[in-house]
Every structure is written in C-alpha cells, then in structure tokens.
Amino acid sequence: MDKSTSMPAGERLISQPVTSLAFALDGAAYAIGAVRAGRALPAVLSSLFSTVKEPAARGAIQDIAYRTLRALGTADALVALLSTKPPVPQVANLLACAFALLIEPEESAAYTPFTIVDQAVRAVNARREVSYAKGFVNALLRKFLRTRSDCLEKVKRDPVARWNYPRWWIDAVQKAWPNAWQAILSAGNVPPPMTLRVNCRRVTVIDYLEQLKEANISAFATGKSAVQLASPMPVEQLPGFAQGMVSVQDEGAQRAAFLMNVENGMRVLDACAAPGGKTSHLLELADLDLVALEENPTRAARINENLKRLALSAKVDIGDAGAPDSWWDGQPFDRVLADVPCSASGIVRRHPDIRWLKRATDLDALKVEQRRILTGLWKVLKPGGQLLYVTCSIFPQENEQQAQWFASTHQAQRLEAPGQLLPAQTTSDDGLRTDHDGFFYALFRKP
C-alpha cells in the first residue's frame, strides 16, 4: 500500500478558485484515495494542507472528506450501479465525494444539487489526465438526480451500502450486540459533538457555563467536568482555553481519571499516554508524582504541549509499556492507567476512516499486544495498587474477554467499573444529558 506522506509534484492543486466547491471536491477526492491506499485521514489532510493555506478551503476539504467516509459504502454502490464499467480511481473518488453530498437530506445539505454537479464536472475537467471523463461525470450525477429514490432503494439492499461499514465490521457488531447493533452502527455515522473538560483547578463547571453564556456560546453540562457545546467551534474562540481553563475531551474519555481514585502524593503511571488528555485530567484532580509513558517520540511531544498550556507538570518518558525493564526505575506505582492500543471502533464517528482501514485480522494482533502490555504494566504496580484497563473499542475480544483473561491469569481482583460504554446519547433521571463515544473500563487491584 502507498503510505507516502506527500502528493506527487503537480498533483496538489487544480486550476480552480481555492474557495470553490470544485477545489474542495478535488482535495477531498485525493484524501479518499489516500485512505483507500491505507493512510490515516488526519495524516493525509496534514500533508495536503501544507500546500493549501486558506482556512476556508481547508475546512471545506476536511468537511467533504469526513462526510464521504461516513457515506462511502453508499457512494461506491451508486457509482457501481450507474456505471457500465468502473471509472479510473481519480474519477471514482471524485464521484464518491459528489454522491456523499447529493445523498444528504435536503434540510441538512450544504450545497444545492445543481452546484454539486456543476462543480464536480469542473473539478474533473481541471485535471488534464481525466478531463475526458467530464461528460461521464455529468451524465452519471444527473441520472442519479432523476432516479434518486430508485437508486438508493436498490443499493441499500446491500448491508455495506446501507450501513457504510465493511461487511466484517457489520457482522462483528451484530454478533457482539444483537439487540443494539443497528443503533451502534447508526451512531458511528453521526458527527460527534464538541465536548470540553473543565479544569477544576481553575474554574467550576457552573462558572464556566456562565462565561460561555456571556460570550453568547450555547452549552450545557454533561458530566462531572464535562460541558458540551451546542455547535463545534475553533478552540481559540473559547473563553480561557489558552489559559488552561478547558480542554477538548469526550465525556466518555473523561471517566478514566475519576475511576483511578487518585489522591495527593500518589505515584501514578499513565501508559500509552499521548496526546495527554487523561494525563492532564489526572493532574487536575490531585497533586501527583506522575509519569506519562509514550513509545512514539513525536506523539510524546504533544503531551508536553498540553501540560504546558495547562500549567501542569509530569515526567514524560519514551518507552514501550510492555517492556518496563527498558524505562522503569524500579519504584512501584500506586495507580496505573493502561489505555492500550485498540481497534478504535468506539470512536468511528470522530475518525470515520478507521472503519475502512481496519481488517478483521487486526483484532487478533491487537489482542496479543494488549495482553503483552497488561502483563508488563502489572509488574510496575505495587501490591494493593490499582490498574485501570481502557480501550476505545466496542468489540468484546478487546474488552470483556481481555478483562476476564487478565483477572484469571494474574489473580487480579476486579473492582467496580462501568465495563462497556456503547456510543450513546441519553438523558438521565436528573435531566443530565450525555453524549459519548464507545469505551471499555475494567479496574483491578493487585493482591
């Protein structure tokens, strides 16, 4: 697979205004092609944006790419249905982006159908190597508009087109959650809310909500330290963000620090810590001797950036969580947070590329790696200490099955914890609304 981090010379831009939909469609089509080749969307966009400086153009490209990945099964099925032979990849990816926009409900559509068709034709025409396909693109999209209902009915008989996930993923979710699989899949196709974690060292949730109100920003509390914005916005516009009052973190992810039961003076390890959200939350809750461990030096730098903004302090180490002899000083920890590598199947609404990048066989490899890390981290925990096992997954192979294996293999005492949190939008009896990604939490005490 092509895992290059830059586009070939001359392939970055087309001769259309950067503010046009044609320009955005072209950039998004490139991003979709790169994801199909095995690259993660954030890295693709980061590379692309090195040549696209205009914020509006960046925003449009990113928006269309995300929309397309959430609708890629349907879009690909429409291309196949309406084409007499498969178009070349560049054209197929552009059509996928156009279809992703055309199939959106009219009330939430970002562009009119006429505009989408016109700009898709302009985009393909602007690329010399595929400009011959402009008539094909025009005819295909217009045919869809004439027969929209019939086309959608036909393609959505196929589960991949209906749910917009690979077939193995659909089958795995249905097997694991027979009574909730449709809701889980649907939740992954809805853009996530923007949730903030209020820094309790600086301000209370009530007081921060008042600051948002004064700034005419609509928001509401969703957890002990969580505030959800009615509409996403740049962090630079948030009151107190630069001063460390708040951080962006999903409400489900915020539960980790509370489950750690930390107290002042404890020695704590946050393993696989980047980008540092859980690290900083722990330090907001108590004065700790905290080590943030991360194997990737580039990702470890992000931990330091977050700590600096929040005026917090921790020792950031580079090392393999599953091989403590390479980094551990021999002093045991009171608490260990094992936020292990996983399929990330619980956060696909934030990262829709994940579903198209993962393979069913990845779960077996992840299972082995998770057990290796858990075994290594158990060695650094003091007797009577607690280890919190965390994944952002919804697959039992990574979650409950691993927790049972760990408790049995290491004679670990399992304590009360939420277990599986499925992606959900709920309202509790006291009227508190929650909207979180999928996570798994299992808490253990060392004898």
Catalytic positions, please? 392
- Answer yes or no: are the C-beta atoms of 344 and 353 closer than 8 Å: no
List CB contacts of 425: < 8 A, sequence separation 6 or more.
187, 433, 434, 435
- Contact yes or no for 98/123 (Cβ under 8 A): no
Other Cβ atoms closer than 10 A to 37: 13
Measured distance CA(27)–CA(29) in Å, rounded: 5
Sheet holding 226-229, edge to edge: 219-221, 226-229, 195-198, 246-248
- Cα–Cα distance measured from residue 31 to residue 11, given in angstroms and rounded to the nearest whole number: 12
Q: Distance between CA 120 and CA 438 in Å, rounded?
A: 36
Q: What is the residue type of 187?
A: A
H runs (alpha helix) in 311-399 = 354-357, 362-380
Helix boundaries (H) for 51-147: 55-70, 72-82, 89-102, 113-125, 134-146
Among residues 257, 320, 252, 323, the alpha carbon closest in space to that of 290 is found at 257
Residue 322's SS3 state is coil
Bridge partners for 413 per DSSP: 445
